[in-house]
Structure 1
Amino acid sequence: MHIEMMGARPKRFTPTDQTQGSAKNRVVIEEKPALIKGVIDYLYTLDYHMEVHTPETDLSQEPDGEEAQDSPNKPDSINEDKATACNTLSLYISMYSLADRLLIHGLKALSKEKFEKELARRWLDPSTFSHAVSEIYNSTPESDRGLRDLIVNVTMDNLVILRTGAKTMDSTVAGNGEESGPVAFPDSLARSVPQFSSDLAVEMMNRTVADWNRHGTCKPNWVQ
């Protein structure tokens, strides 16, 4: 039953895959069991839920190298809650990508919605934000704007907070060093994910031009 339901969706298997699948009466999808279970649950109920287990390690998708210099206060290892948050976001991103490959558009839209809610719930935590940006740009093609546009817009709407660690968009507070924490958007993130930086620059220009067309002048910055 599951094979017939799932096999009717994909249109991107190669002839070799189809031959092997026919010979064995099954189609092998090399994904995490939790993702496959989520797909099956969605096909039956139009919803899915992920059981997230804290990984022992593995934030391999998160930028490294010079990031330690940009964020000197970052601990050597993230705590259990942050690890769980990264894993949750990763699962939603992976499900979004899998749904795209299987052409299950409703599941793809639902995964985007779940990702957006989880990101908002974590409120731009430094470790989870960097991890989410890297994961999105490593897991989705350039032509798929769903999660990419989402993370770019979130960045633009919260640029002061992300760049300064401030807990408010009030520029007087953000600029005087008070009410601040770890920086969620260090220079190293922009360097390590150049396509994200490019998308961000384009959105900045678009907002500036739109502001100019409305008011005949530019705001002192490009954020709302």
Structure 2
Amino acid sequence: MVISFSRNVISDNDNTLDETNGEEDPSELEVAAETDRRNEMSSSIATLRANPKYSDFLILCGDHIFPAHKAIICSQSDFFAKVFDSHFSVGYRIASSSLASKLLTTILQEACTGRIRLPDHPLVVLLLLDYLYSSDYTFYLDYDFPTSFLAEGQSPPGDLVDRLHCCELSVHIHVFLVADRLLIRGLKYLAKEKFAEILRKASFPTVYPRAVREVYTMTSIHHRLLRDVVVDFTLDALHSHGERGHFDPNFPRHILEEFPEFAQDLTTKLVDEWVEDEKSIASDLMQIAEYFRLC
């Protein structure tokens, strides 16, 4: 899939006249021209995605081959930049993930031939490239991506909408993890936001437990950014259960028993909230006491 940018023609600016002399406003014309130039640049970069003519290395993923351009990829990924610049040293720590030394050695060797093989699912790599060439990516199914969560023991829900939400959440988790491993900060935050957006609209009793299981199975304590999304969403659901039409009053407590780390994170957040509330109450009481003292 190629995400292309359509060139925006700002007709209002093109026809803007100065009210005093009937001439076009130069400042607005400059803004329109600058916008047009930016759109042309974005369109040109996106076009490279579909045209392998000027690509200077290949990303291999399973049986799929993705042409890429070092200038675009390396400028956004410290991982790829260091691979091609051969700046990896012994003991180099790639973000928070533990990439096996054997895999890293293989990647470095392949980089010398202009080929890099990634162990991720082809759809995840495709969305990764979509982001690098367009600053965004759009979820869709391709390359036989599993229609249920990948965590061991997961089963897809019966409802088709719930199943689609589960699949999309899984895709965003995988994109987050590959962005974290390849040191692409912008993509990591974008995947986190997309994950949070789908989690908010998905069915709580059906999709939520699967989302918790997926996140805490596939991530580690170093992936605080994504785990916090699940914990914060849980707190929000608990605090606003009367306003959520699809909220199940029987909170899936088995998740707390199944994932002690999740239970610990949730408890920590609850305690932090309580402490902040107590501080706020204490501050209010002190202000009231000071008011009466002055009276």
TM (norm. structure 2) is 0.57
Residue 152 in structure 1 maps to residue 231 in structure 2: yes
Residue 37 in structure 1 maps to residue 116 in structure 2: no
* In structure 2, C-alpha distance between the alignment counterparts of 1:212 and 1:101, rounded to whole Å: 39
CA positional deviation for 1:183: 5.3
Does structure 2 retain, via aligned residues, the 8 Å contact 1:63–1:192? no
For 2:61, the equivalent position in structure 1 comes to none
For 1:130, the equivalent position in structure 2 comes to 209
Q: 1:115 to 1:190 in 2, by over 3 A?
A: same
* In structure 2, C-alpha distance between the alignment counterparts of 1:199 and 1:190, rounded to whole Å: 10
For 2:243, the equivalent position in structure 1 comes to 168
For 1:193, the equivalent position in structure 2 comes to 259
Q: 1:117 to 1:61 in 2, by over 3 A?
A: same
Q: 1:26 to 1:185 in 2, by over 3 A?
A: farther
CA positional deviation for 1:57: 6.3
Specify the structure having the higher radius of gyration (Cα). 2
* In structure 1, C-alpha distance between the alignment counterparts of 2:111 and 2:177, rounded to whole Å: 25
Residue 89 in structure 1 maps to residue 178 in structure 2: no
CA RMSD of superposed structures (Å): 3.1
CA positional deviation for 1:32: 1.4
Does structure 2 retain, via aligned residues, the 8 Å contact 1:89–1:118? yes
Residue 20 in structure 1 maps to residue 109 in structure 2: yes
For 2:186, the equivalent position in structure 1 comes to 106
* In structure 1, C-alpha distance between the alignment counterparts of 2:135 and 2:161, rounded to whole Å: 28
* In structure 2, C-alpha distance between the alignment counterparts of 1:76 and 1:16, rounded to whole Å: 37
Of 78, 86, 100, the residue aligned with 2:158 is: 78
Q: What secondary structure does 1:214 align onto?
A: helix
Higher share in strand: 2
Q: 1:76 to 1:150 in 2, by over 3 A?
A: closer
CA positional deviation for 1:211: 1.2
TM (norm. structure 1) is 0.73
CA positional deviation for 1:28: 0.7
For 2:268, the equivalent position in structure 1 comes to 202
Greater mean deviation of Cα atoms: 148-157 or 23-32? 23-32
CA positional deviation for 1:58: 4.1
- Structure 2: runs of 5+ lacking an equivalent: 1-54, 56-67, 83-93, 284-295
Asked which structure has the greater RCO (Cα within 8 Å, sep 6+), the reply is: 1
Where do 1:44-83 residues align within 5 Å? 44-52=133-141, 58-59=148-149, 61=151, 77-83=157-163
The one-letter code matched in structure 2 to 1:118 is I
Q: 1:159-200: CA deviations, max 9, x gaps?
A: 156xxxx6537xxxxxxxxx7864573121111111110000
Does structure 1 retain, via aligned residues, the 8 Å contact 2:149–2:170? no
Q: What secondary structure does 1:98 align onto?
A: helix
Q: 1:61 to 1:158 in 2, by over 3 A?
A: same
Q: 1:52 to 1:142 in 2, by over 3 A?
A: same
Matched-pair identity in %: 28
CA positional deviation for 1:95: 0.5
Greater mean deviation of Cα atoms: 5-14 or 112-121? 5-14
